[in-house]
């Protein structure tokens, strides 16, 4: 699956700048309802109202980052994520969340946004290992994915700390416990890819 960079309602039409050059439209804040697909039915049994939960998490993360634009979230399975992880990153294993940007903001042009794909079995395993509710862990991973789209990363300790703090603040606004409190998500930190 390649990131969709030229399709979807956010990309129709266009506007011209002062010189008459075509530019990509920018979505006004609040007009960027996420597109959520439940590709694996187990999500419906494991999480009450997964589409509503994902929508709330995306909205909260967009508000926290000040970004806005189209975000697609696919609630998939390990097999799908493993295939995509191998195809796009050369890693032949599933991971909890993959993100694909439409057009990096640094490149100029384009519409901010992207796709977030989440693996059911990996998320379920991590939630159980951490003693967390599956819905809380899914909320965390959706926010984590949106922060990646917004340019946050966790490859270096300082970056990781900044990202974790923003995740914790955003989760708190949704009344979800801080996953980074001592002992809660040690296994997730160790399994980052």
**Do 115 and 3 touch, CB atoms closer than 8 A?**
yes
| Three-class DSSP labels, 24-79 | CCCCCCCCCCCEEEECCCHHHHHCCCHHHHHHHHHHHHHHHHCCCCCEEEEEECHH
Is 144 annotated for ligand binding? Answer: yes
Is 137 annotated for ligand binding? Answer: no
Is 88 annotated for ligand binding? Answer: no
Residue 116: strand pairing partners: 73, 99
d(CA 191, CA 89): 16
Residue 98: strand pairing partners: 117
Task: Mention every residue, 6+ apart, whose C-beta is less than 8 A from residue 6.
Answer: none
CA 173, chain centre distance (Å): 17
Q: Which residues are annotated as a binding site?
A: 144, 148, 154
Q: Which residues are annotated as a binding site for Zn(2+)?
A: 144, 148, 154
């Amino acid at each position: 699956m390649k990131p969709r960079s030229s399709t979807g309602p956010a990309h129709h039409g266009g506007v011209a700048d002062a010189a008459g050059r075509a530019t990509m439209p920018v979505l006004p804040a609040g007009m960027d309802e996420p597109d959520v697909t439940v590709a694996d039915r187990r999500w419906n049994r494991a999480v009450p109202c997964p589409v509503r939960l994902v929508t709330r998490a995306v909205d909260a993360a967009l508000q926290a980052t000040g970004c806005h634009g189209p975000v697609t979230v696919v609630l998939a399975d390990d097999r799908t994520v493993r295939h995509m992880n191998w195809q796009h990153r050369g890693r032949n294993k599933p991971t909890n969340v993959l993100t694909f940007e439409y057009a990096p903001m640094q490149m100029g042009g384009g519409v901010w946004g992207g796709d977030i794909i989440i693996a059911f079995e990996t998320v379920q395993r991590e939630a159980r290992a951490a003693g967390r509710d599956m819905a809380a862990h899914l909320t965390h991973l959706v926010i984590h994915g949106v922060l990646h789209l917004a340019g946050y990363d966790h490859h270096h300790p300082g970056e990781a700390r900044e990202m974790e703090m923003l995740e914790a603040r955003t989760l708190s606004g949704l009344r979800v416990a801080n996953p980074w409190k001592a002992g809660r998500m040690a296994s997730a930190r160790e399994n980052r890819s």
